Amino acid sequence: MNAHKDYPGKGKVALLSSSPQTVLDDYARLLDLAGYQEALPADKKTILKVNLSSETWYPAASTPPWQLEGVIRKLQGDGYERLYAVQNRAAAVDAYRGEQNNKQKSVVNSLGVKNVHLYEPQSKWEIYKPKLPFLVLDEIFPAGIPIPELFIGQNMVHLPTLKTHTFVTIAGAMENGLNSLPMAQRRLALSHLHEALVDLLSIQQDIHSGLFAVMDGTFAGDGAGPQALRWHEKNIILASADLVALDAIAAKLQGFDPLEIPFIRIAHEMGLGVGDAAEIELVGEEKALLDESWGFMVQDTPISQGEKVIYQGSLQFLEPLLLHSPLAAALNLAEDFYFNAYWLPFVGKRRVEGALRTKWGQHFAEYGDGAVVLPGVKPKPVVTVAALVGLGLLSVLLSKGKEES
């Protein structure tokens, strides 16, 4: 597919330093530097695609409240009246609890923005059929790709954070588009995730009246992202109408060569954006940051290691069968159990407590009612796993009893 496109802001990224005292003003200045009004028609609805990777607050994992507030206040101040904060279902995360605990909902409520959960029955979906052949999505979804009706013909603003990702190296603006698909169908794209992200960007450039992304790097995260991260205070914020360029700069900051990350390279070669950092116009005060490398690393969890065997490794030939069997539900349960019954309560909690002592952690606590919900053992996955183990043992005992009788 040849998808070369020109649009306002292509190849331009705004990058600023920030602090808790100035962050709302910094976001306003950032959006102006990136030329957001040229990218987003003010007479259209504007969807804010919130990032939510953890059910309780974890630094760098999800859209922080100051990012959401800064963007909303700027949009409203410039006459963008029809704003929608959008959540979708995610593995191991209850979006209703997550938006509360991450204080996203308190910001949305206080500023009068409509809140939408795409997976609820009242949210309508349409089938998108490509005008040109895709890289992979038309093979994964031969009947067409499900797209939220709310998205079609309207503006989209992605709100990712600066972090690594176990499957695609970085979780940035393009990866945030994956969350527009229904959760049950997202797993089908994991075997060719880089190509799927490029296809999704092509869809977005086709269906949206304007496309933009704002990335928060006040906290950044490396390791087994997007959830089991090590947090780092980096005190920067970024924005661009070019999602490829934004991800390229984010990758370079973290210490990766953008063109060695397949989804950035492919999108660059197709002309969907600029992925070569040398060709990107960087505006703002922090150009010198690109001369250093943070040395971030991508790591796996036991869950992601198992998933890679299925989606990309020795069991890939069984993928269609496995993902239409009880194993698909088992994968979701295993992920829920690992993060919410082990990692967050016993590893992540200590890291969160440390982050709360930083200036950004203290600023997070000021939002909403001032309380911070710390990670704890989530009962549901523990009870479910215990019940399954109990049923298995009961089955074995009954079977043994029958043999002895």
Structure confidence by residue, pLDDT tens digits, 21-57: 999 999 999 999 999 999 999 999 999 999 999 999 9
Residue 395 has pLDDT above 50, yes or no: no
pTM confidence score: 0.90
| pLDDT at residue 309, as a whole number | 67
What confidence tier does 337 reach under pLDDT thresholds 50, 70, 90? confident
| pLDDT at residue 311, as a whole number | 65
Question: Other CB atoms closer than 10 Å to residue 46's CB: what's the count?
Answer: 24
| pLDDT at residue 338, as a whole number | 86
Question: Other CB atoms closer than 10 Å to residue 203's CB: what's the count?
Answer: 19
In sequence order, the 6+-apart residues with CB closer than 8 A to the CB of 197 are 168, 174, 175, 177, 178, 263, 267
Q: How far is CA 17 from CA 14, 33, 116, 291, in A?
A: 10, 13, 31, 15
Question: How does pLDDT run across 126-166, given as a tens digit for each residue?
Answer: 999 887 789 998 888 888 888 999 999 999 999 999 999 99
**If we measure between CA atoms, which residue out of 185, 198, 177 comes closest to residue 143?**
185
**If we measure between CA atoms, which residue out of 320, 348, 339 comes closest to residue 378?**
339
| pLDDT at residue 293, as a whole number | 85
Specify whether the CB–CB gap between 59 and 221 falls below 8 A: yes
Residue 94 has pLDDT above 50, yes or no: yes
SS3 per residue for 95-155: HHHHHHHCCHHHHHHHCCCEEEECCCCCCCEEEECCCCCCCCHHHHCCCCEEEEHHHCCCE
Q: How far is CA 2 from CA 133, 173, 373, in A?
A: 9, 21, 48
Task: Give start and end residues of each alpha helix (H) in 338-404.
Answer: 349-355, 359-366, 379-404
Give me the amino acid identity at 371. A
Q: 12-300 adopts what CATH topology?
A: Rossmann fold (3.40.50)
Residue 400 has pLDDT above 60, yes or no: no
When the pLDDT of each residue in the chain is averaged and rounded to a whole number, the result is 87
| pLDDT at residue 142, as a whole number | 84
| pLDDT at residue 225, as a whole number | 87
Residue 88 has pLDDT above 80, yes or no: yes
Distance CA 259, CA 271 (A): 13
